[in-house]
Structure 1
Amino acid sequence: MTHTPRLGLPDPARMSEAQRAAHDAIASGPRGRVEGPLAVWLHSAELANNAQALGAFCRFGSSLPPRLSELAILVMGSYWRAGFEWYIHAPIAAKAGVPEAVIAAIKAGGTPVFAEPDARAVHDFARELLTAHEVSDETYAFARHQLGDRALVDLVGIL
């Protein structure tokens, strides 16, 4: 399997009106650029519009603070070995307040030590959901207590 992109941004000179509109909406939004999966999704303007809206909500509109949403993204990126997600989100997570030791432990596949119980709740919930495809009653109760119902639903949406 190759780790280089197989399909990139459509040729701007050949973009349909819908593709151009999707491109411009993404580029003018909070991301400020079109890259990674967003560029590939432009081959289907409808997918690009809908997927970028969900992604924008998860990253910028979630009830989780950026420290926790970025932590969830790193746990997911590590699980799926998603190099692009890691490349983009590790620096964002650090800037949002995720400690470097936590980022390094997640990248190495280890279990970080958390100072904040809400961060541990996000990590444990995300990891358990991704690896076991379900969440134990204990993990669920802890995450719900730490995050509340809305943030817990937003966390599942991010994952």
Structure 2
Amino acid sequence: MSVIAPRLGMPADPTPEQAEVVAEVVAGKRGKVPAPMIPWLRNPELARRAQRLGELLRFDTSLEPELSELAILVCGRHWTSHHEWTAHKRIGLAAGLDPRTVEDIAARAPSPYIRSDRERIVLQVARTLLAETRLDDALYAEGVAILGETGMVDLVAILGYYCMVALTLNAFQIGLPDSFAPELLDTEAC
């Protein structure tokens, strides 16, 4: 991958609506403007609603932080989203993910290192849903048995949101070249 620059930056002369949304997110749990919000600011209401959903899914689901981050990393790897991967690798490790798990996901290992049934089911549901767009009855039932109905809903919502994030980051080349992740150079589907 050659060195590339972001296609969009923060608006140089923000509108009052853009400034209001930026102030809201900076005052929230993140304390800063998240990278995908940079292009979203071209539609301030999209930026407002998307960042609120992202804040909910990042900080306030029924899943433990390391499980949310595991799902986000699977999504970032699936889309080869360098900035998403780089940011959430750091967050995931800080939340307690094992470095071997992170390395295995980056390498698309068929059987990544996992430490619990909860990690296993998050990984399996995320990979299956991203690759096949559906869950068979057995995997769905196992997911509900391990994560509960709310956990499954939260997991699917995290995956959907972070797919939007990955596609936004990729389309507008946000975070590059600074967040380039050489471990993601293999672009085969996971």
The TM-score, its normalising length taken from structure 1, stands at 0.94
The answer to which structure has the higher helix fraction is 1
- Report the 3-state secondary structure (helix = DSSP H, G, I; strand = E; otherwise coil) of the residue aligned with 1:23: helix
Counterpart-to-counterpart distance in 1, 2:131 and 2:157: 16
- Per the TM alignment, residue 157 of structure 1 is displaced from its structure 2 partner at its CA by 0.3
Aligned residues: CA RMSD = 1.4
- Per the TM alignment, residue 58 of structure 1 is displaced from its structure 2 partner at its CA by 0.6
- Per the TM alignment, residue 32 of structure 1 is displaced from its structure 2 partner at its CA by 1.6
Query: What residue is the counterpart of 2:11 in the other structure?
Result: 10
Asked if 1:74 corresponds to 2:73, the answer is yes
Q: Percent identity?
A: 39
- Report the 3-state secondary structure (helix = DSSP H, G, I; strand = E; otherwise coil) of the residue aligned with 1:91: helix
Q: Pairwise mapping of residues 54-93 of structure 1 onto structure 2 (< 5 A)? A: 54-93=53-92
The one-character-per-residue Cα deviations of 1:97-119 (angstroms, maximum 9, x if unpaired) are 11000000001111312120001
Counterpart-to-counterpart distance in 2, 1:35 and 1:50: 13
Runs of 4+ in 1 over 6 A off after TM superposition: none
Counterpart-to-counterpart distance in 2, 1:35 and 1:57: 14
Query: What residue is the counterpart of 2:30 in the other structure?
Result: 31
- Unaligned 5+ segments in structure 1 are none
- Per the TM alignment, residue 35 of structure 1 is displaced from its structure 2 partner at its CA by 4.0
Counterpart-to-counterpart distance in 2, 1:58 and 1:4: 28
Counterpart-to-counterpart distance in 2, 1:4 and 1:139: 41
Counterpart-to-counterpart distance in 2, 1:22 and 1:136: 40
- Unaligned 5+ segments in structure 2 are 160-190
Counterpart-to-counterpart distance in 1, 2:129 and 2:4: 26
Q: Which has the higher contact order (CA 8 A, sep 6+)?
A: 2
Query: What residue is the counterpart of 2:21 in the other structure?
Result: 22
